[in-house]
Structure formats: structure tokens, C-alpha cells
Amino acid sequence: MIKTLAVMTSGGDSPGMNAAIRAVTRRALDRKLKVYGIYDGYEGLAKGGDAIRQLQWEDVGGLLQRGGTFLGTARSEKFRTREGRCQAARQMLEHKIEALVVIGGDGSLSGAHVLAQEWPEHVDQLRKEHEEFSSRGEIPNLQVIGLPGSIDNDLFGTDMSIGADTALNHILHAMDNLTSTAASHQRTFVIETMGRHCGYLALAATLAGGASWVLVPEEELELRWHQKMVDAIDKGRKIGRPHHIVIVAEGARHPDGLTITSNDIKRILTERLGLDVRVTVLGHVQRGGSPTAFDRILATRLGVAAVDTLLDAPDAPHCHMLGLVRNEVVATPLTTVVEKSRAVGVEIETGNYSQALELRGESFKNTLKLVKTLTRILPAQERHDDGVVAILTGGADAPGMNTAVSVAARCLLNQGIPVLGSRDAFMGLIRGDFIELDWDEMVGWVNRPSSEIGTARIDFKPADLAMIAENIQKHRIKGIIAIGGWGTYVKIAELAAQRENFDAFNIPMVLVPATIDNNLPLTEYCVGTDTALNNIIEAIDKIRHTAGATRRTFIVEVMGRQSGFLALMSALASGAEKAYIPEKGISLAELNTDVENLKKSFQYGKRLVIYLRNEMASFHYTTDFIRRLMEEESKDQFEVRTAVLGHVQRGGIPTAFDRILASRMGSTAALTLINAMQEQSTEISVLALSGRGTTTFPLPEAIKEMDLERGRPKHQWFLQLIETADALAKVHAGSGT
């Protein structure tokens, strides 16, 4: 069993690295390990001295919201030499470090791999040269765990690397801002994104940001690719598109292998179309800033798993990278990670683009295909006259609903199927109030908050069903896509139950999960949840800034209805000390313990403690009740304040994650419906993001998974993270801020 572990960051920094260091450190301390932080990457590991410092619980406090890495990173030429690595091995022996957790990109991970491979030889040499090591007993092999830290998202073995989500949000933010100025000036913008050989950021930004054209390194371009681009933009201008954005990944290439720069594109568009083109090279802004909720949670899960992997399988030789694959932590040998991650670059360098694309995998290929459909200036097929599809957004609004409507509508329109938006959810169906969704208009909806076609909560009156049936027939509605939450699922189930009475209801329907509460069956995430999570952690970060010198506890009330997802995940992402959730309820005994813990925390030097309370965690122990109880019991040792975040959580422009999820679900909803209509099936399908990707389930299966009495799904994957959240927020002597 190892006793001492070191953690380091190396290579290019990425937002979320601090969260990973914090998680590794705290989990390791909690499991009684001694922890060293290595400053300045491999340079520091070889140098030793003050570059290797012991880390305590409080050293990693207040870090979650900070971008970059507090341990610093450096590129190290020394470590590329055998001699440099032997110096590093010596430092590690001196500190009795038996395991190393390295957070970085493929370069950093190959460095770790080489060190682990050479370890026995370095130990032999050092034993021969130094008396202090030769007299030591057996020295075991070095255990190495790598964590993917890179904004480029170019690592094999993980769906997302730490930092990529934040970088993508920065790009989208820039695009949103440029779109508004471009629209007022009829401008065309060229945006260059980072990513080395990987087109992920460019592709995802095009999907989620509504760009007109994209160039990625993995796609083999035609010799006259620029002609196609010029034609498309010209056509767009002629039909009155107010603006255009062209995204170029830094690694994009001409078919002859030469790099395409953003200035090349500017020149082409200016010369050929006489456009006013502005170039924005986003550069290091993409790396900066506070990490998103997704990156903080990803980093935290992987950091905790790194320590657990080392301790729970002490006899296994560890030389792995841990990644998140389909929402599960998965270990892949470092050799495979490095080899496969680099292979794509090699294929691109040698002009084998199709092989490069193949290596990126199915999801990347599908996204590229979807982007090609969505960036079309006009639909591929003429509008036909075999009936229409109606789309509605139900219940409370959720950020990303517009994205889902926009993508679903365009996928249908592309096949020639006209699409109607039902105004104010089911009200439109009852009153026959629809708006025709038009291709060109839809492009601009991808980044709009709330729902343009309107949402509403209603209960059906008996007459309503007949009206809906009448309007389905009158408007020749052949299929329905309903985007919404719990209430929308229940309403669609009510229509299904009335099929015998109303023949019009015998059409295929698709449900898309969209609610900030993340309380729907079979899906790991719903559209809107990620935006709400980010709204919450931004608010908590701000509350932290008000701490001053006082000893203060904040009870922050968040939404989520009967699901504790938002409370628990935002506690994990913001470092809040506790989350009261409805799945566990609140007891008086627990509140007593909490008061004692608070007293202890403040005695140990904390200045601010944040407790989160889900709005329905307990009927009687309300947020205000808890505040009063704690204030009384604090005996003037600390103050208690409350902050009820309310509708701030629902607002704002949808995040990258929500827009991408909404795009995928929107396109799957359209395809599912088109298939069903062709096969004359009347199935009602429910979409879900599950271990297998975006999948569809028949409605009865989804209903079976709904605990209708409690108002939440029977299985909730995130409950497995309660232990992680508790472990990282424990009250420790000297636990600091």
C-alpha cells in the first residue's frame, strides 16, 4: 500500500486543473496519504528543493473557481533527457514518493509513461551511486495515473478533457458577441480557434454557435474548397442573412497540406465578394478564466478516482490515464492514450484525412455530418405537401429549448417537411395557434435564452382533448416533438391514454427532456440543466467574494423540485460544504450536528461556509427556519444569511453543453420522427442521454422509471457522488477558507 503521493500539472495549462489538484490532494489526505505538490511541472520534479512541497487540506481551499494551475506548469527540455529523468527519480526517492498523478496533455502523459518505464533502471543506478538508497529495502515500481488536462479535447480515452468545456464556452461567448455586432453592420467574421490537430472546438462551436462555415483539420477538403465557401456565403447574402461567421481551426489545411490561416479566408472573401471581413484570433482567452461547472465536476470526479484507483487496487501496476467515457470513469493504458492521440496528428500530417476522421470516432463524424446539414444555406429538399410536424416547448422554460427547436426544425425542413411551432406549449394545439418555422429564421435561434414559441403549464380540461384532436386533423399534423419537463411527459402520456377515444392522437411523437431540474427518467442530463448549474456556481462564487473578515454561514436555496441534482452538483462544483437534498430529507439530529460542525469550522479558522438547500429538501425545515435555528444555536459565534437564487437559475444564454445536447437531441428527435412517419408507426419515443449515447425509449418504459408519487426518477446516477462531495468538504483542523 502506497503512503506518499505527488500531484503535478504539466504542459499547456487548462481551466479545471486546480479542481483536479484539490480533489487529488483532499481525497489522498482523507485516505491518510502524505501528499506533495510538484511546482512547475517536470522542471520542478527534476529540480527538487522548494519545487516539491507538502500539501495540506487548507492549501487547496478556495481553488475551485480559479483558472490555470496554482502549481504552475512548464515545458521541460531537461526531462526529455534520460539524465533529467534520473534526477527526477532521485528527487522522488528522496521524498519517498511512490505514486505520481500527472494532469496534462499527451506530451505530459508520455513523459509520465517514459518515467514509469525507466523507473527500475533509475533506481538501480541511484542505489549504486548513493548509500542512502542502497541501504533502503525493496523499492517498488512507480505507480502513475494520468488525468487528461487540455483545452484541445484531443486525447484518446476520454470523451472530454479537463478545460475543453470552458474553452468552448469562451468561444461561444465571443461568437455571441460578434453575432450582435456583425448583424448591425452586415459583416463577416472569421474566427480562429485553438486545438492543434484537433477540430473539436471548431466543430462544436459551429454547431452550438450557428456559424456559416467551418474548416477542421480532420476533413479532406476539395481542391476548390474556397469556391464552395464563397458560393455559400454569397447565396446567404442574397437571401438576406444579416451576417456570417466562418470558423477555422488552427490546424486546418489545404488539400496539399499547407495550413489555412484566418487571413487566407479574409483575403478570399474580400477579393471574391468584396466583403467587409474581420478576423478574430481567439488565442489564449480560450485557456483563461474560471472553469465551468462541467470542468470542475469532471476534474473533481477524476481526481478522486485517481486516488481511489491507486489505493483500491494496490497490487496492480498502474500506468493509466483516467477519463470519462459515457459518464463513467474509465482507465486506459498510457501507451494506448499517447499512441492513439498522436496517430490522428500523424495521419493529418501525411495527408490521410479520412483515416484521421475515422480515428476521431463516431460521435465526431456524426457531429461533422450534422454541422454540414445545419450550415446549408437552403434545405436540401423542396417542401412537400404530405402534412406537417408540430413542435412545442412545455412546462417551465429551460435554456437550450430554442436550440432544440432550431435544430429539430431544420433537420425536418431539410427533408422537405414543413414545421409548425405550437404557441405556448399545448395551448397552441388547443387553440390552433401555430407559427410556421422557417429555415433562415431558425439559424438565429441557437443561442437565444428561454423559448421563442412560448411555454406554459396547463391542466387539460375535458373539452381541450377534442380541440387538440380537431387541430391535429385540421392542420394535417403527422407527428409531434414535445420538448419539456415532467409535466410535458405526463401530458403526452395523457394524450396516449386517450388514443382509443381520439383517432387523431395516433401519430408518432417524440419527447425531448428539457428542464433545469434534471429530474427526468433514463437520461443523465436534460437540456437546460448545465446552464442552471453554471448560473448557480457563478452566484456562489460571487457570494464567496463578499466574505470579508466575518464568520458567516450562507444557506443558498436552489431549484430542482424533487431532485437534488442541482444542489449536489453545484456543491461539488463550488466547494460548498453541504447540500440538503430531497432524496435524503433533513432531520433535527442532522441540523444539530451541522451546527456543531459549523462552530468547529469557524474555530479552525474558516471565515465563510456555504450550505446549499434544494427548494423541496424538507417541507417544514425551510431555508428560513434553518437560518433562524442556526443563528440561535451559534451563540454569537457566527452569523447566518440566506440567498434564494430563484429565477436567476433559469435565465441566460444556454451554455455550450446545453446547446450541444439540445442540437444532438433535436436532430435525433427529427430523425426518429421521420423514420416513424415513413413506417407509419405511432410510437411515442422518449429521448435520453445515457451510457449508450443519445438513445430512444418507448414512452411506457420512461413512465415505468418515473416515481410519480415522489416526483422524481426511480434511478438517479448522481447520487453516487454524495460520498465524493462529503469527502472533499469535511471539517478539518486548519481547514482554512
The residues of the shown chain that bind ligand ADP, judged by CB under 6 A, are: 10-12, 42, 75-76, 79-80, 104-108, 110-111, 114, 150
Q: How far apart are CA 328 and CA 518, in angstroms?
A: 18
C-alpha cell at position 43: 522542471
Q: Beta strand 706-707 with 712-713: parallel, antiparallel or unpaired? A: antiparallel
**For residues 335 and 366, which CB has a smaller minimum distance to ligand ADP in the complex?**
335
Cα-Cα end-to-end distance for the chain: 32
Long-range CB contact pairs, 460-468, < 8 A, 24+: 460/426, 460/491, 460/494, 464/426, 464/430, 465/495, 465/498, 465/501, 465/502, 466/502, 467/429, 467/430, 467/431, 467/432, 468/426, 468/429, 468/430, 468/495, 468/502, 468/504, 468/505
C-alpha cell at position 493: 402520456
Shortest Å distance, C-beta 3 to ligand ADP:
26
Q: What's at 207, amino acid-wise?
A: L
Residue 152 falls in the annotated catalytic set = yes
Give CA 211 to chain center in angstroms: 20
Shortest Å distance, C-beta 79 to ligand ADP:
4
Cβ atoms of residues 516 and 450 within 8 Å: no
Q: How far apart are CA 455 and CA 428, in angstroms?
A: 10
**For residues 144 and 686, which CB has a smaller minimum distance to ligand ADP in the complex?**
144
**For residues 9 and 65, which CB has a smaller minimum distance to ligand ADP in the complex?**
9
Q: How far apart are CA 734 and CA 737, in angstroms?
A: 9
Radius of gyration (C-alpha) of the chain in whole angstroms: 27
Q: How far apart are CA 79 and CA 86, in angstroms?
A: 9
**For residues 143 and 375, which CB has a smaller minimum distance to ligand ADP in the complex?**
143
Cβ atoms of residues 439 and 633 within 8 Å: no
**For residues 106 and 577, which CB has a smaller minimum distance to ligand ADP in the complex?**
106
Shortest Å distance, C-beta 81 to ligand ADP:
8
Active-site option among 59, 152, 424, 658: 152
**For residues 66 and 80, which CB has a smaller minimum distance to ligand ADP in the complex?**
80
Which residue in the shown chain puts its C-beta closest to ligand ADP?
Answer: 107
Across-strand partners of 500? Answer: none
Shortest Å distance, C-beta 626 to ligand ADP:
45
**For residues 43 and 59, which CB has a smaller minimum distance to ligand ADP in the complex?**
43
The 3-state secondary structure of 442-457, one letter per residue: HHCCCCCCCCCCCCCC
Q: How far apart are CA 221 and CA 215, in angstroms?
A: 9
Q: How far apart are CA 155 and CA 326, in angstroms?
A: 15
**For residues 84 and 513, which CB has a smaller minimum distance to ligand ADP in the complex?**
84
**For residues 13 and 452, which CB has a smaller minimum distance to ligand ADP in the complex?**
13
Shortest Å distance, C-beta 45 to ligand ADP:
9
Shortest Å distance, C-beta 75 to ligand ADP:
3
Q: Cell 425551510 appears where?
A: 622
C-alpha cell at position 726: 462529503
Q: How far apart are CA 187 and CA 553, in angstroms?
A: 50
Shortest Å distance, C-beta 84 to ligand ADP:
8
What value, to the nearest 5°, has the Cα angle with vertex 347 and ends 346 and 350? 85
Shortest Å distance, C-beta 117 to ligand ADP:
10
Q: How far apart are CA 15 and CA 227, in angstroms?
A: 38
Q: Report the phi/psi class of residue 364: left, alpha or beta, with left for phi > 0 and alpha for psi in -120 to 50.
A: alpha
Shortest Å distance, C-beta 146 to ligand ADP:
10
Active site residues: 152
